[in-house]
Amino acid sequence: MKKTERLETAIRQKQIKQAVLEIIAQEGLHNLSTRNLAKKVGLTEGAIFRHFPTKRDIIKGIMEDVENELVAGLKEIANGSLSPEEKLFNFLCYHVQYLKANRGITILLFSEATHLGDKELIGRLRRIFSDQKGLIAKIIKEGISENIWEKNINPSDVATLYMGIPITFNIEYILNKKGINMKNFCRRMYELVINVLKN
């Protein structure tokens, strides 16, 4: 009966978080129960709760991944030594690519954080959001101080405008997979943002 391999917690945690994203992408948020999650991983519910104290902690773990993978990657680009234009382009492409590889993550974060009504999760989400905006604003300020872009432009406003791009991309991608024109998406959006900055 007992054929299930025994793996250590760190590995199971990765599998569980992976399964969460797969369920959302393939079956929808409404199927994200611990029961279905256990089935997907190939374990029982008890085993799931052996590796995570609560379901909430699984979502929290995914948020931490986003901070460690996405946000850290974006930070590296923003703090690099390339030109502001190159930074902006790489930033946007990296951003979109990450969301493409982890489709549904935007909806998971916003939906679950608000669904669970959890102050800490919402705070984390807020931080991820404002970190990204801050990095974009920083790149833009850099470009302005290097006289590449217009002085009379508000970096924070452009950052707000920017933030809509990956969010919209992700929402459209999960909502309407065929409708969105993926080809060169990040280059096309980059050109538009550059238009704003060059005035």
Partner DNA sequence: TAATTATGTAATCACTTACTTACAAAGTTA
Partner DNA sequence: TAACTTTGTAAGTAAGTGATTACATAATTA
Residue carrying the six token digits 């508000």: 154
Residue 168 contact among DNA, a copy of itself, none, beta carbon within 5 to 8 Å by kind? a copy of itself
**CB of 17 vs DNA, minimal distance in Å:** 14
DSSP SS3 for 33: coil
The pattern of x and - marking residues 8 through 27 that bind DNA according to CB under 7 A reads: xx--x---------------
**CB of 122 vs a copy of itself, minimal distance in Å:** 7
Contact 194, 161 (CB under 8 A): no
Residue 2 contact among a copy of itself, DNA, none, beta carbon within 5 to 8 Å by kind? DNA
Cα distances from 90 to residues 70, 83, 106, 139, 167, in angstroms, run 13, 11, 20, 11, 17
The radius of gyration of the chain's CA atoms, rounded to the nearest angstrom, is 19
Structure tokens at 101: 């590889």
Residue 50 contact among a copy of itself, DNA, none, beta carbon within 5 to 8 Å by kind? DNA
Instruction: Please choose, out of 51-59, 87-95, 170-178, 185-193, the segment that lies near DNA by the rule CB under 7 A.
Output: 51-59
